[in-house]
């Protein structure tokens, strides 16, 4: 009788252990669910870190990139086949200083027609190295010439494709000196100002193109960085 009771107790314990193990296995989330949760957490963290300015860069920058891609591809092909490049690299590569003082390689097409050099920098906007609107991206030498004060505020702002200094480049007012305008933008930038600068940046080349149609043969100069002649960052 005692052996029968012991055998029954051992069998009951085995059944209970198997049931507990099965319950543990079913309550443990599968590896796929863990990966989904981890991915969702990373996406939520990335979205939580987006600012209005960065969101505008991503949305408008992506739209501009889609529209400009065929033109940029054709321009790159034309530059490849046209002397003096003769198949050499059609991109100009320069080291510039970006957000938080980090250097990056700025790549742009070797052409100034229709502002294609600027449009070719749109991948830098999507990558977060540039913004659509901001101070002109400076070389390490230009950044060193700024001094600690100006260098400090520049480190907190992404350089841009266009900016306040670029749209006011034709002004001859003393307070429209590019370095002062860059500092003013860094202190007062916002969505409204960015949209106004973008609208003005689009209107300038359209107005210039219309003038060329009315007055063909008159030369118009264009510069890659759209800075005034003799522009200096040193004060």
Q: How many domains does the chain have?
A: 1
Q: Is residue 13 part of a domain?
A: no
Q: Is residue 178 part of a domain?
A: yes
Angle between helices 178-188 and 148-155 (to 10 degrees): 50
Q: How far apart are CA 212 and CA 206, in angstroms?
A: 10
Q: Is residue 40 part of a domain?
A: no
Residue 150: name the closest of 105, 186, 98 by CA.
Answer: 186
Q: Is residue 229 part of a domain?
A: no
Q: Is residue 166 part of a domain?
A: yes
Q: Is the overall model pTM greater than 0.85, yes or no?
A: no
Q: Is residue 16 part of a domain?
A: no
List the pLDDT tens digit at each of the 235 positions of the chain. 555 555 555 555 554 556 545 545 544 455 676 776 666 556 555 555 578 999 999 999 999 999 999 999 999 888 888 776 655 688 999 999 999 989 999 999 988 877 889 999 999 999 999 999 999 999 999 888 887 777 778 888 999 999 988 888 766 666 668 888 888 898 888 899 999 999 988 887 766 666 666 765 554 444 445 555 555 554 4
Structural domain containing residue 73: 52-214
Q: Is residue 135 part of a domain?
A: yes
Cα distances from 96 to residues 15, 124, 162, 226, in angstroms, run 70, 12, 15, 15
Q: Is residue 46 part of a domain?
A: no
């Amino acid at each position: 009788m005692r052996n029968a009771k012991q055998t029954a107790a051992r069998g009951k314990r085995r059944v209970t252990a198997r049931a507990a193990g099965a319950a543990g296995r079913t309550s443990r989330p599968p590896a796929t669910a863990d990966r989904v949760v981890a991915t969702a957490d990373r996406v939520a963290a990335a979205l939580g870190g987006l600012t209005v300015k960065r969101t505008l860069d991503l949305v408008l920058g992506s739209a501009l990139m889609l529209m400009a891609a065929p033109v940029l591809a054709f321009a790159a092909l034309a530059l490849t086949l046209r002397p003096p490049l003769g198949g050499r690299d059609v991109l100009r590569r320069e080291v510039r200083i970006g957000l938080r003082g980090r250097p990056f390689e700025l790549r742009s097409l070797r052409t100034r027609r229709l502002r294609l050099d600027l449009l070719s920098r749109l991948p830098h906007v999507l990558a977060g190295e540039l913004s659509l609107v901001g101070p002109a991206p400076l070389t390490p030498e230009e950044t060193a010439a700024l001094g600690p004060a100006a260098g400090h505020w520049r480190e907190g702002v992404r350089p841009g494709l266009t900016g306040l200094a670029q749209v006011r480049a034709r002004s001859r007012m003393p307070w429209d000196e590019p370095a002062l305008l860059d500092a003013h933008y860094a202190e007062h930038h916002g969505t409204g100002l960015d949209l106004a600068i973008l609208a003005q940046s689009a209107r300038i080349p359209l107005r210039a193109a219309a003038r060329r149609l009315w007055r063909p043969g008159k030369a118009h100069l264009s510069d890659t960085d759209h800075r005034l002649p003799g522009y200096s960052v040193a004060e």
